[in-house]
Amino acid sequence: MKAIDFMNQLQKNPEYIEMQKQKEREMQLKLAEIKNIEASFINDLQANGFDIQASGDLLKLKKVDAKLAELLLMWLPKISDKHNSQQMLVRALAIAEKPFNGKILMQLFDSEESSDGLKWAIGNTIASASVLNIEGWLEAKLNASQQGKQNEMLIYAAAKYFDYVKAESLFKKLFDIYPLQVADVFSKVGNGEDLKFLQLKSKNYSGEVHKQIVKYIAQLKKRLGNQGNVALAKS
């Protein structure tokens, strides 16, 4: 049976029709709940001159000015993340034009009620924007005995907020937990010693991870040029 014939037959099936109707009802209920969750937040943005109809519209912006960033930070702890509304606000802050205080982001990240997805988004925003008063918290997170996927974007943040000696030490310590993130960062900011480190570490991996590490090694070698060749010759 051809795919088109199968679909035509399926669309006449009463059970399939009812299932599709149920999915549509559930979607409409979800959209109504999101609208209710975000109503006060959206009203506040509009009252302050921002043409935003839903939190998802924030992701269409090319930049977030200081006034909008202040509003987002004010609403972050107030709005529910049941349908990822908090994540939309956090992701928007990644393109904030001006530095802003990281207190709210740190509190949300540390909260047991925050999902791993929200924490990942917070890490990405810290790495992308200019967040103030974040260094001590960031160092503690990357030195913690327990690490997880939610911390992987903090690797990129470390490259931004720490001097290279401190960052490099953390990267090498965490390589076996976040091999792709560390290799990616080294490809952009690493030196000859980091190139040797990656060459050695790559031997411990296989499959797609090994392939990606080798790609980052090639990028680092290209960036370093003759300096990289000299470093490898000494290894």
Instruction: Please indicate, yes or no, whether residues 92 and 19 belong to a single structural domain of this protein.
Output: yes
Number of CB atoms found within 10 A of residue 191's CB: 17
- Please check whether residue 5 lies inside any domain of the structure: no
- Please check whether residue 105 lies inside any domain of the structure: yes
Q: Helix 116-128 and helix 103-110: axis angle, to 10°?
A: 150
Residue bearing tokens 């935003």: 52
Instruction: Please indicate, yes or no, whether residues 129 and 183 belong to a single structural domain of this protein.
Output: no
Each residue of 59-118: pLDDT tens digit?
999 999 999 999 999 999 999 999 999 999 999 999 999 999 999 999 999 999 999 999
Q: How does residue 233 score in pLDDT terms, banded at 50, 70 and 90?
A: low
- Please check whether residue 194 lies inside any domain of the structure: yes
- Please check whether residue 79 lies inside any domain of the structure: yes
Q: What is the DSSP-derived secondary structure letter of residue 64?
A: B
Q: What percent of the chain has pLDDT over 90?
A: 79
pTM of the entire predicted model: 0.85
DSSP string, 70-125: HHHHHHTTTS--TTSHHHHHHHHHTTBSS-EE-HHHHHHHH-TTS-HHHHHHHHHH
Instruction: Please indicate, yes or no, whether residues 221 and 158 belong to a single structural domain of this protein.
Output: no
Instruction: Please indicate, yes or no, whether residues 66 and 151 belong to a single structural domain of this protein.
Output: yes
* The pair of three-digit structure tokens given for residue 4, joined into one six-digit string: 């088109």
Give the amino acid at 79. I
Look at 24-28, 86-90, 155-159, 228-232 and tell me which has the smallest mean pLDDT.
228-232
- Please check whether residue 75 lies inside any domain of the structure: yes
Last residue of a domain, one of 134, 162, 190: 162
- Contact between residue 133 and residue 102 where contact means Cβ atoms under 8 Å apart: yes
Query: Which residue spans within the chain are E strands per DSSP?
Result: 100-101, 131-132
Residue bearing tokens 């047991």: 112
Instruction: Please indicate, yes or no, whether residues 144 and 109 belong to a single structural domain of this protein.
Output: yes
Instruction: Please indicate, yes or no, whether residues 23 and 85 belong to a single structural domain of this protein.
Output: yes
Helix (H, G, I), strand (E, B) or coil at 144: coil
Whether residue 213 is predicted with pLDDT greater than 90 in this model: the reply is yes
Instruction: Please indicate, yes or no, whether residues 156 and 187 belong to a single structural domain of this protein.
Output: no
User: What average pLDDT does the segment 2-26 reach?
Assistant: 69
- Please check whether residue 3 lies inside any domain of the structure: no
Domain carrying residue 40: 11-162
Question: What is the number of domains present in the chain?
Answer: 2
Instruction: Please indicate, yes or no, whether residues 72 and 186 belong to a single structural domain of this protein.
Output: no
Instruction: Please indicate, yes or no, whether residues 91 and 149 belong to a single structural domain of this protein.
Output: yes
Last residue of a domain, one of 132, 162, 192: 162
Q: What is the DSSP-derived secondary structure letter of residue 48?
A: T
Question: Which phi-psi region, left, alpha or beta, contains residue 181 (left: φ > 0; alpha: ψ -120 to 50)?
Answer: alpha
Distance, CA of 81 to CA of 85 (rounded, Å): 5
Distance, CA of 98 to CA of 181 (rounded, Å): 26
Instruction: Please indicate, yes or no, whether residues 183 and 138 belong to a single structural domain of this protein.
Output: no
- Please check whether residue 6 lies inside any domain of the structure: no
What is the end-to-end Cα distance of the chain in Å, rounded? 62
Instruction: Please indicate, yes or no, whether residues 196 and 93 belong to a single structural domain of this protein.
Output: no
